[in-house]
Structure 1
Amino acid sequence: MTTLRYGDRSQAVRVLQKNLNSYGAKLIIDGDFGDVTEAAVRAYQLKVGLVADGIAGSKTQTMLAGNDCQQLLKNVDLVNAAQRLDVPLASVYAVNEVESKGKGFLDNGKPVILFERHIMYRQLSKVRQEGDDPAELKHHADQLAAINPAIVNPKAGGYAGGTAEHQRLATARLIDNTAALESASWGAFQIMGFHWKRLGYASVQDFVTAMSASESQQFDAFVRFIETDPTLYKALKARKWAEFAKLYNGPDYQRNLYDIKLQRAFERHADCDCGQAVAA
């Protein structure tokens, strides 16, 4: 499903306009995604509770088609996060738009994940209990890496993508359930499982249950991630987008223009009254 946004001109935009009109919009069906169509998209999103970003992605188009969207991120989640973080709503919209992978769940209903074999190697080597022998743990991890390098490996890689990542995870869970769950990134914001304790979850299993419940829960983990990283939080508060992008995305953030995208997204949402509309 093609994401439609401001500036697009196509037959798909005509279909979008027609669908919006069936829900009360009074658009001229001209296939031009301009200011009026963007405003109609935001109004519809607010009406049904979706994130009101004015972008007609798969979620908005799915909702327009009458499908169930219980698992999807809600606009009120972003409004509440802005209040919780004490930042403008536009800042939350920006980080959600740029840092989210778009969808938190696969078509089969399972959460989006990426299994990291090098993290599995690290977590298997980790001392967890008094009396654990670090040398013995590392030796065991090395043995597993020799037997199954696609699942346990000192080096990153081996990604399969999509539903196949769950197959890799299932294999890893047969080796060590906790280490395996800690070694995958979860949901729309790809939060690593090993952060569970820092983020305030009772266990990695508790974290995974939350990530498997809804995009709202996944977004809550993202907000916790920001809250528990003082430097990242400070960069967001000050709207130092380059610093925020470097901290969240790593040193290659400039290659993907994350800081520029964040700045532009913030500016685009700066005048939106989406929060007031929800709170009213």
Structure 2
Amino acid sequence: MLATVSASALNVRSIPNISGQILGVLNEGSVVDVTEVDNNWLQIPFNDSIGFVSKIYMEIQPQVSKLYGFVNTALLNVRDVPTASGLILGTLFSGTKVSIVSQIPDWLEIEFNNGIGFVLSKYVDLFAQTKSYQADVIAATLNVRQKPDKKAQILGQVKNAMKLTVEADIGAWSEILFNGSSAYVFNKFLKRIEPDEEQGKITVADNADEENETKPEVAESLTDKLQPLQILPVSGTSEQKKVAMTWNRYGGLLNRLSKKNEIDVACAVAVLCVESSGKGFEQNNDNRMIIRFENHKFWKYWGKKNPADFRKHFQYNSDKVWTKHKWRKTENEEWQGFHGNQSKEWQVFEFARSIDADSAMLSISMGAPQIMGFHFERIGYQSIKEMFNSFATDISAHINGLFDFFSDPMVRKLRSLDFEGFAAGYNGSGQKVKYGKWIESHYKSFKQIKS
């Protein structure tokens, strides 16, 4: 039996009770197989195991033909019959939208090449057809992509305040009509137009208490309430103090985003501590955003085109490009290092910005998560300037950016507590051992004081 999530977000719990551990969240419109447990709870498959959701926030799906789905694996074979030995009719790529004809155990019958075919159901994320709605674009410009994937081809852009018709919401993406065809945009840059309803709230639904009263949990917008309900004492070793202060600053938002991504919040705390000691802004530097200017990146974005001028002002080790960074403002000055001192980092950055602003911003790592500027599009920004301005003024942008930056392999590494594997993706393979050990150490420190 299939059912559709009717709440904006629905908690998945470890047991059929409001006291059960929250394993994750299902978004509105998600479709899952359900088995009735009692009058209040449904059992669902969840992350290769099972979970439980409140029945009152699920709508039984009477017609499979009203479903569609998106391929969630790199390549998916379409077969002529629902068996692994069936003839392969073709292949679908990740993010491809499919229309569902019927459901068979472990398989889905789909429309394919003006006929039908069969695919394994575990490789398709299902959604129910929902009513379209109007939304305003709230970004300066917003990329329109061919598929709901940050790496998908950009078909064009829409501008601030443009009104779009949203056909469906798929997780972090919205499907729109663009030049007569389906296309996709990040829905965090859309504002739903609901003149008769209160806007801006996300209802995280759950079952009521044991007396079956309807008391859904209401979660603030993910940019609200940084601090956690539980404040930890800042004591113990220097590392324990660091993780406690980081938790006390951002634990509320970190906890919500960690649950959404199904990782231990201690992992997120540890990463922030290692990257920036858990700070996004430096109080002793006019409270400016913490940055690290990378000479070798500035070479890539500006120096290659201006090699003589670059060498007058910047140096780095050509073998290990992240080392031996030095600079000077004029040729008459001595070369000097600058890493480890935020005032000096900003001096170098401001000098580079006076030469080429965009190249300079692309060449810095920013804020608490120390995300490089050249990753601006990966974390949902339309330009490097937009990312810089957001990070320079809003700590919640740092925290959201951290999770937006996590790739699926990184998330899997954190779930399995493979910190070295995570660091290979986040910090680079050349520094994975060092950073992996640091992250693991901070993770253990947080678990000790939070237990």
The TM tier, using the shorter chain, reads 0.5 to 0.7
Supply the AA of the counterpart residue of 2:295.
Answer: R
Q: What pairs with 1:258-277 in structure 2 (closer than 5 Å)?
A: 258-265=438-445, 267-268=447-448, 271=451
- CA distance 1:180–1:96, shift in 2 (3 Å): closer
Normalised TM-score (structure 2): 0.39
- CA distance 1:188–1:264, shift in 2 (3 Å): same
| Corresponding position of 1:84 | 260
Cα distance between partner residues in 2 of 1:102 and 1:238: 23
Match of 2:314 among 127, 149, 154: 149
Cα distance between partner residues in 2 of 1:252 and 1:53: 31
Larger Rg: 2
| Corresponding position of 1:277 | none
Supply the AA of the counterpart residue of 1:149.
Answer: F
Indicate whether 1:205 and 2:370 are aligned: no
Q: What pairs with 1:191-202 in structure 2 (closer than 5 Å)?
A: 191-202=371-382
Supply the AA of the counterpart residue of 2:234.
Answer: I
Partner secondary structure for residue 289 of structure 2: coil
Partner secondary structure for residue 114 of structure 1: strand
Q: Is the 8 A contact 1:245 1:258 kept in 2?
A: no
Match of 2:297 among 116, 119, 124: 119
Indicate whether 1:95 and 2:255 are aligned: no
| Corresponding position of 2:192 | none
- CA distance 1:55–1:168, shift in 2 (3 Å): same
Q: Is the 8 A contact 1:90 1:269 kept in 2?
A: no
Cα distance between partner residues in 1 of 2:434 and 2:265: 27
Indicate whether 1:220 and 2:400 are aligned: yes
- CA distance 1:50–1:202, shift in 2 (3 Å): farther
| Corresponding position of 2:234 | 55
1:26-62 CA deviation, whole Å, 9 max, x = no partner? xxxxxxxxxxxxxxxxxxxx9965884543558988x
Normalised TM-score (structure 1): 0.60
| Corresponding position of 2:250 | 74
| Corresponding position of 1:274 | none
Partner secondary structure for residue 292 of structure 2: strand
Alignment size in residue pairs:
200
- CA distance 1:183–1:153, shift in 2 (3 Å): farther
Query: What is the deviation of 1:187?
Result: 0.9
Structure 1 vs Structure 2 CA RMSD: 3.3
Supply the AA of the counterpart residue of 1:85.
Answer: N
Supply the AA of the counterpart residue of 1:112.
Answer: I
Q: What pairs with 1:236-251 in structure 2 (closer than 5 Å)?
A: 236-250=414-428, 251=430
Supply the AA of the counterpart residue of 2:375.
Answer: H
Higher relative strand content:
2
Cα distance between partner residues in 2 of 1:185 and 1:240: 24
Query: What is the deviation of 1:205?
Result: 0.8
Cα distance between partner residues in 1 of 2:242 and 2:270: 18
**Structure 1: any 5+ residue segments left out of the alignment?**
1-45, 62-71, 126-137, 272-280
Higher relative helix content:
1
Q: Is the 8 A contact 2:280 2:395 kept in 1?
A: yes
Query: What is the deviation of 1:185?
Result: 0.9
Partner secondary structure for residue 306 of structure 2: helix
**Structure 2: any 5+ residue segments left out of the alignment?**
1-224, 236-240, 327-336
Cα distance between partner residues in 1 of 2:271 and 2:243: 18
Match of 1:230 among 358, 383, 408: 408
Q: Is the 8 A contact 2:226 2:252 kept in 1?
A: no
Indicate whether 1:110 and 2:275 are aligned: no
1:84-140 CA deviation, whole Å, 9 max, x = no partner? 212233333343344442321122111011111110010126xxxxxxxxxxxx3x3
Cα distance between partner residues in 2 of 1:102 and 1:233: 20
Q: Is the 8 A contact 2:376 2:383 kept in 1?
A: yes
